[in-house]
C-alpha cells in the first residue's frame, strides 16, 4: 500500500491541475505555474496551502526567480509561507505593516543568491521567545541584533568558506563575511515579522572593495543597521565612505535589494571569482533600488558638513596583536588608543577587533596638516607613544601589542 501512495498523490495532483477552477486564480499566477515544467506540483502545492496563506504563496510563485520556481524544494517554500504567516498573526508590529512591505521584505525566502535552505522555522523558534514581550518593532530590532552573535554562534571571519553563505552555512561554520552576516541578520529579523533587506556597494570610492549591510523598515522609513548592533540606527562606521558614493556609477553606487517588481538590479561582485569582470556583466538576477542619495544625505549630517570647509580629514587606526601579522581579521585586536595634539586630547576609543569587518577602523576626524600623538599600551602594559603627521589626505596607521 505504501508503494502505491506516491502514485496516488501524483494522480490526485494531475487531476487537480486538469480540473483546477481557473477563475479562482489570477492571470499572473496561472501564467507563472503554466510556464514551469513543474506545473502539476505547483498546482498541488497552491491547492494544499491553507486559505489564510494562499495570498502569500501566490505572491512568491509569481515573483520568485524562474530557476527557483522550476527546481527548489517545494517543501521549503511551504515551510517559509507557514512561518511567515505565523509571524504576521503573532506580532503586532507585523500585523500593522503595509501589505507591500510585508510581501517584499518579510515574506521572501531568500536574500540574494545564497543557497536556498530552510532557515525561517529555525530562526523563528530561536527568536520568537526573545521578542515575545517587546511592545514595539524597535525593541524587537534591538533584541534580535544585539543577541545574534551569541544566539547563532556566528562571528565575522575572513576564513569563512565563501562570501554569499546562507544562514545554515554560516551557523555550521560559526563564521561569515560581511555578506554572510548581512544575509543572516536579514533572515533573523524577517523570521519575527520585521521588514529587512540587504544593502551594499560594489566598491567604496577608493576601490578598497565591496561591503554589505542590513536595512530595517521602521516607522515608515528604511533605517541602517549592521551585524553587531551599532549604538543607534543610521550611525555606522562606513558613513564617511558612503558620503563619497556615486549614484551615477554602478561601481560606486549603493543599492538595497527589492523582491518583486524592481526596476534595477543588485551588483553581486562576489560572483566574479577573478575580480576583473566589469560590473555591468555581473548576474542581474536580484532586484534592487539605487539608494545612494539617502546615504549621502545621512552622511552629510554626520561628516560631510565638517569636511566641506576643507580643514579636516580622517585618521584611521588599526590595532594588531603582532606588528608582523596583518593579513586576516583574526590578526586584529581591540586596543584602547588616545589621540593627542600637544597636551590636548582630540579623541580616543577602541580599535576594531577580530570580529569586525576588515574595512572597519577606529576613525577620528581631525584638522589637517598637524602633528598628533597616539598613546596606547603594549602587551607588557607599557605606555607607547607614536607620532603621526596628518596631511591633506586621510591616513591609516597601524599599532600593535607587540
pLDDT digits over 296-321, tens only? 999 888 777 878 888 999 999 999 99
Residue of 298, 297, 269 lying closest to 281 (CA atoms): 269
Contact indicator for 334, 319 with CB cutoff of 8 Å? yes
As a whole number of angstroms, the distance between CA 337 and CA 389 comes to 16
pLDDT score recorded for residue 19: 47
As a whole number of angstroms, the distance between CA 170 and CA 181 comes to 8
Flag whether pLDDT at 23 surpasses 60.
no
Q: What is the largest CA-CA distance in the chain?
A: 88
For residues 378-388, give the mean pLDDT.
92
How far is Cα of residue 115 from the mean position of the Cα atoms in its chain? 15
As a whole number of angstroms, the distance between CA 272 and CA 342 comes to 48
pLDDT score recorded for residue 159: 86
pLDDT over 70 percentage in the chain: 94
Instruction: Report residue 133: phi and psi, to 5°.
Output: -95, 0
What is the average pLDDT score of the chain? 90
Contact indicator for 49, 57 with CB cutoff of 8 Å? yes
Tracing cell 551599532 back to the chain, one arrives at 230
Residue of 42, 125, 112 lying closest to 83 (CA atoms): 125
Domains and CATH numbers, the chain: 137-308 (3.10.620), 310-400 (2.60.40.2190)
As a whole number of angstroms, the distance between CA 283 and CA 298 comes to 29
Flag whether pLDDT at 4 surpasses 50.
yes
As a whole number of angstroms, the distance between CA 55 and CA 46 comes to 10
As a whole number of angstroms, the distance between CA 154 and CA 145 comes to 12
Q: Which of 96-100, 256-260, 312-316, 334-338 has the lowest mean pLDDT?
A: 334-338
As a whole number of angstroms, the distance between CA 131 and CA 8 comes to 43
pLDDT score recorded for residue 93: 97
As a whole number of angstroms, the distance between CA 39 and CA 384 comes to 70
As a whole number of angstroms, the distance between CA 238 and CA 240 comes to 5
pLDDT score recorded for residue 7: 57
Q: Give 57's contacts (C-beta < 8 A, 6+ positions apart).
A: 45, 46, 49, 77, 78, 81
Contact indicator for 155, 355 with CB cutoff of 8 Å? yes
DSSP element (H, E) containing 337:
strand 336-341
Flag whether pLDDT at 398 surpasses 50.
yes
Length of the chain: 402
Contact indicator for 167, 120 with CB cutoff of 8 Å? no
Q: pLDDT band at residue 133, thresholds of 50, 70 and 90?
A: very high
As a whole number of angstroms, the distance between CA 375 and CA 46 comes to 65
For residues 10-36, give the mean pLDDT.
70
Amino acid at each position: 500500500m505504501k508503494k502505491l501512495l506516491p502514485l496516488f498523490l501524483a494522480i490526485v495532483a494531475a487531476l487537480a491541475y486538469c480540473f483546477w477552477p481557473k477563475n479562482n486564480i489570477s492571470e499572473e499566477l496561472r501564467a507563472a505555474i503554466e510556464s514551469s515544467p513543474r506545473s502539476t506540483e505547483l498546482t498541488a502545492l497552491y491547492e494544499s496551502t491553507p486559505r489564510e496563506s494562499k495570498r502569500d504563496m501566490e505572491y512568491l510563485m509569481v515573483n520568485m526567480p524562474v530557476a527557483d520556481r522550476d527546481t527548489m524544494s517545494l517543501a521549503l517554500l511551504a515551510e517559509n509561507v507557514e512561518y511567515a504567516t505565523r509571524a504576521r498573526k503573532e506580532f503586532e508590529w507585523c500585523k500593522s505593516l503595509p501589505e507591500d512591505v510585508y510581501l517584499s521584505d518579510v515574506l521572501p525566502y531568500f536574500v540574494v543568491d545564497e543557497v536556498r535552505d530552510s532557515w525561517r522555522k529555525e530562526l523563528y523558534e530561536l527568536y520568537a521567545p526573545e521578542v515575545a514581550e517587546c511592545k514595539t518593532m524597535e525593541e524587537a530590532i534591538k533584541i534580535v541584533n544585539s543577541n545574534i552573535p551569541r544566539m547563532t554562534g556566528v562571528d565575522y571571519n575572513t576564513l569563512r568558506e565563501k562570501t554569499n553563505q546562507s544562514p545554515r552555512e554560516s551557523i555550521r561554520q560559526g563564521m561569515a563575511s560581511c555578506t554572510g552576516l548581512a544575509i543572516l541578520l536579514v533572515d533573523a529579523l524577517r523570521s519575527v515579522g520585521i521588514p529587512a533587506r540587504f544593502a551594499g556597494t560594489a566598491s567604496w570610492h577608493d576601490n578598497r572593495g565591496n561591503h554589505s549591510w542590513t536595512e530595517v523598515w521602521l516607522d515608515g522609513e528604511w533605517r541602517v543597521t549592521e551585524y553587531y548592533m551599532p549604538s543607534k540606527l543610521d550611525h555606522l562606521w562606513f558613513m564617511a565612505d558612503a558620503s563619497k558614493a556615486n549614484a551615477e556609477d554602478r561601481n560606486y553606487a549603493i543599492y538595497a535589494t527589492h523582491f518583486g517588481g524592481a526596476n534595477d538590479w543588485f551588483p553581486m561582485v562576489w560572483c566574479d571569482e577573478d575580480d576583473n569582470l566589469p560590473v555591468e556583466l555581473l548576474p542581474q538576477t536580484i532586484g534592487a533600488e539605487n539608494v545612494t542619495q539617502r546615504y549621502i544625505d545621512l552622511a552629510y549630517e554626520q561628516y560631510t558638513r565638517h569636511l566641506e570647509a576643507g580643514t579636516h580629514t580622517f585618521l584611521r587606526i588599526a590595532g594588531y596583536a603582532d606588528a608582523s601579522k596583518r593579513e586576516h581579521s583574526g590578526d586584529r585586536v581591540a586596543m584602547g588608543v588616545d589621540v593627542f595634539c600637544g597636551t590636548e586630547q582630540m579623541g580616543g576609543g577602541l580599535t576594531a577587533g577580530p570580529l569586525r569587518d576588515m574595512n572597519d577602523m577606529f576613525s577620528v576626524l581631525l584638522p589637517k596638516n598637524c602633528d598628533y600623538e597616539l598613546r596606547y599600551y603594549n602587551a607588557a602594559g607599557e605606555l607607547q607613544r607614536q607620532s603621526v603627521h596628518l596631511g591633506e589626505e586621510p591616513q591609516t596607521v597601524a599599532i600593535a601589542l607587540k
